[in-house]
Amino acid sequence: MAWPKPSSGGVRPWTLRLVNELIERGHHVDVLTEAPAKRFRDEPGLSPKAGRVILGTGLAAKLRLAAYLHRNPGVRLVTALNRYNNWGALLKWLFGDRVRLTVTQHEHLSADAQWKSARQFWINTRSVRLLWKRADSVVAVSHGVADDLVRNWGVPQDRLHVIHNPAYLPSFMRNADRPPPHPWLRDGSCPVIVSAGRLHPVKGYDDLLRAFAIVRREQPVRLVILGAGPEERSLQALVKELGLNGSVALPGRVNDIAPWFAHARMFVLSSRREGFGNVLVEALAAGLPIVSTRCPSGPDEILGDGRWGTLVEVGDVLAMAEAIRTTLKAADVDRDELARRARHFSVDRAVDHYLALWRPQRVAAQAPVSV
């Protein structure tokens, strides 16, 4: 399995959880990485039983990957992110049935296209259409991602499967009873809304701030946005422009979001696109009422088309403000029901689906899985 960089968003925890659970069930897993050897040996959270294969970078990495596949006939190669998916598909074409390839897609490619350069888009289009059809299976993390791959990218429907991300961990809320990590969460003088994710235009935090400003004019409320990224300065400037100093906090990246969620009143996801939306599952696990954009794709599936949270259209600031207002005024929600919904996206369930997918294609009981 190709090990993603720290900037790879939800793909990194997906990889970590999949690898560890497969090993826990008795499977041998090699993790293939471009990361420097010293840093990767100490990768936090990764099972010590995982094989670590350092590929290096550039052309040398591709040659080492080819050599690894040559030494391990019958290996199951699992890839994520476009670059690794394309490498894997090209090598599948070269090695044929000696490699069993599962390509996993974690982004809505069409929605993501507007954030790519013309060159990147051209490469993605040609690679997906020409190479991915050679994969033994293609896994999409949501039905929206799957529909897009079939309709717009030519991925054969008979090789496409939907397996939701293993976003729920039973241990997620183990630190929820720690003291609130921010003064606003301790004083209880007014409700606190929380959001979390990369500070990037795709997350739509500018829309969230404008919606929050509307709500703030009518009632005392505060907003905390957890995360770091390239949009931090522009968001701070927008906070000042909207007169929200003292009502909005951007504390940066935090290692454990559970204590923040445990003491907040509600959660808002304002994204313009998602592949799945892991953080929504974490908000459900915390029993938080949710307002989310109905972005492509994932939130409508996680929230049951509005059953477990309120959905608004992307870019509709007024609708978001109204949904936040309504949620703040609502009676207490059934937090246990929300937590039960989160458990639908467990690691056990996801790995069960992957193993069921691979079982009829298994070529040898002892063949390793490489991710």
According to CATH, the superfamily of the domain at 183-343 is Glycogen Phosphorylase B; (3.40.50.2000)
C-alpha to C-alpha distance for 113 and 128, rounded to whole angstroms: 13
Q: How much is the pLDDT for 284?
A: 98
Q: How far is CA 247 from the centre of its chain?
A: 28
CATH of 11-166+347-370, one of 3.40.640.10, 3.40.50.2000, 3.30.360.10, 2.160.20.10: 3.40.50.2000
The predicted model scores a pTM of 0.91
Q: List pLDDT tens digits, range 167-206.
A: 999 999 998 888 899 999 998 889 999 999 999 999 999 9
Residue 311, SS3?
A: strand
Residue 316 scores a pLDDT above 50: yes
Q: Where are the domains of the chain?
A: 11-166+347-370, 183-343
Q: Which of 71, 282, 95 is nearest to 171 (CA)?
A: 282
Q: How much is the pLDDT for 352?
A: 98
Q: How much is the pLDDT for 4?
A: 66
C-alpha to C-alpha distance for 277 and 96, rounded to whole angstroms: 34
Q: How much is the pLDDT for 211?
A: 99
Q: What is the DSSP string of 213-229?
A: HHHHTTS--EEEEE---
Q: Burial, 71: exposed, middle or buried (Cβ in 10 Å; 0-12, 13-18, 19+)?
A: exposed
Mean pLDDT rounded to a whole number for the chain: 91
C-alpha to C-alpha distance for 279 and 268, rounded to whole angstroms: 10
Average pLDDT over residues 55-60: 88
Q: How much is the pLDDT for 328?
A: 96
Residue 35 scores a pLDDT above 80: no
Query: Does 183-343 match 11-166+347-370 at the fold level?
Result: yes
Q: Contact 99/70 with Cβ under 8 angstroms?
A: no
